[in-house]
A = this chain, B = another copy of it.
Amino acid sequence: MTTQAVRTKGAEPDLQMEAPLQLGELDHHLGYFLRRLQVWIFQDFIAALKEKHVRPAQYSVLLVIKANPGRSQSAIGRRLNIERARLARLLHDLEKRKWIRRRASGCDARSHALVLTADGERALGQIKTLAAKHEAKVGEYVGQKRRAELMRLLRDFG
């Protein structure tokens, strides 16, 4: 930290400072900046939900099942852009916790109708409380006005 010091004209000789690193062309890539904020938010979410052992993808699946009870795995997967192989394992885990049930579809013997169990509803209630606290922290970090603008600009891609 003290090597390769850069002396700026007016700076104290003893105060050795590193030149800040430039981003180069990275500065013109939207994906880079999206990624940086997304990672910060997901890390905060994971920390906030750690006690419940719920990851972002699991949370999103629980919410979409609650909002659309009885729908099939393929429908959920299409909505959230989760690959069916991955969703199968994710749901297997949620079923082991007794948070969801896969019922017979009735219309199509190939597909399952996904629903939350009573346990799942209860757990999701607690999870939502933690997620709301997390989202409040996001608002502080990003700024309420900027958060609202980002939501408006990004909503079309969800």
Contacts and interface: CB of A to CB of B under 8 A. Distances in A.
A138 interface: yes
Interface in A35-66: 35-42, 45, 56, 60, 63-64, 66
Interface stretch (A7-15, A18-26, A93-101): A18-26
A126 interface: no
A38 B31 contact: yes
Interface of A: 3-4, 18-19, 21-42, 45, 56, 60, 63-64, 66-68, 70-72, 75-76, 79, 81, 105, 107-108, 111, 128, 131, 135, 138, 142, 146-147, 149-151, 153-155, 157-158
Q: Can you tell how many copies of this chain the complex includes? A: 2
A41 B30 contact: yes
16 contacts: A4-B70, A4-B71, A4-B108, A21-B67, A21-B79, A23-B67, A24-B64, A24-B66, A26-B64, A29-B131, A30-B41, A31-B42, A33-B155, A33-B158, A146-B153, A150-B150
